[in-house]
Amino acid sequence: MILSTSSGDFLIPAEVARLLPNIPALPDLAGPNARLQIEDFRHWLDASPEHSINYERLRRWHLVQNELAAQAKEANRPFTVTDDGLE
């Protein structure tokens, strides 16, 4: 799996990938069936409180990883994807 950030794309280590919540693909807002995809995703979110929690966990993790990648890039040091932000 690959994590795309504003600082580049990074391989997600298997031990981190196993910890990530499983959510459906986000809607492609530029796609021809965007409205249907958005509706389907909203139905999935509403189907269980756990779905919303998992989505927020993944969203927060991505934000933290994006920031850590940016800091590493600014300091000119390598970045490795971690589970920081999943708590």
Tokens for 41, please give them.
């995703």
Beta strands in 2-74 (DSSP E): 2-5, 8-11
Averaged pLDDT score across all residues of the chain? 96
| pLDDT tens-digit series, residues 7-36 | 999 999 999 999 999 999 999 999 999 999
Q: What is the pTM of this model?
A: 0.88
pLDDT of residue 87: 83
Beta bridge partners of residue 11, listed in sequence order? 2
- Segment (H or E) for 72: helix 49-74
